[in-house]
Amino acid sequence: MVRENFASAMIDVCVDGCYGLWFDANELVKLDHHKKGFGSALERAVNQPFSPPGDPEPRSCPHCHTPMDVVQYQLAQQVTVDECPTCDGVYLDAFELAQIRNRPMTESERAKARGRRRRRNKRFNKRREERERTSAMLLMIAVM
């Protein structure tokens, strides 16, 4: 697996043909909606052709080698993914990220996203004001 930049997260990608994706704990939420992340690595990952699973093979966590659990990713559309019970990482077959991203966002998810955007903008504005205040103070000191 090779780490690739998906703009909002560094994700491990299998480049030996299967193009499976490994998400460390809490990384999948950075890319689970259609408009999250960008770049050629992400585009390649979501454009992998759908291939229905054959006989499920037990998968081991690529990080801690614990046998992984098969779980339903908890969104409006159920997608079966492999999750490590030890380190909380998630493994997706190449087409599963596209399945997760290509579903409509629920109203509660839209409300949460708006709240996150407001909080992020508030933090950004606060940091900008602090930088401006610091710059003004330094300028005043330099003038004295």
The full set of domain ranges for the chain reads 2-104, 106-144
The confidence score (pLDDT) of residue 55 equals 47
Q: Tell me the pLDDT tens digit for each residue of 52-67.
A: 555 456 678 777 888 8
Residue % of the chain over a pLDDT of 70: 72
Please state the rounded mean pLDDT for residues 8-28: 82
What is the chain's mean pLDDT, rounded? 76
The confidence score (pLDDT) of residue 77 equals 59
The confidence score (pLDDT) of residue 103 equals 64
Handedness of CA 30, 32, 34, 38 (dihedral sign): positive
SS3 71: strand
Give residues with Cβ within 8 angstroms of 57, minimum separation 6.
Answer: none
Tokens standing for 63? Answer: 């990080």
The confidence score (pLDDT) of residue 84 equals 87
Q: Tell me the pLDDT tens digit for each residue of 125-140.
A: 888 899 889 888 888 8
The confidence score (pLDDT) of residue 105 equals 58
Distance CA 128, CA 131 (A): 5
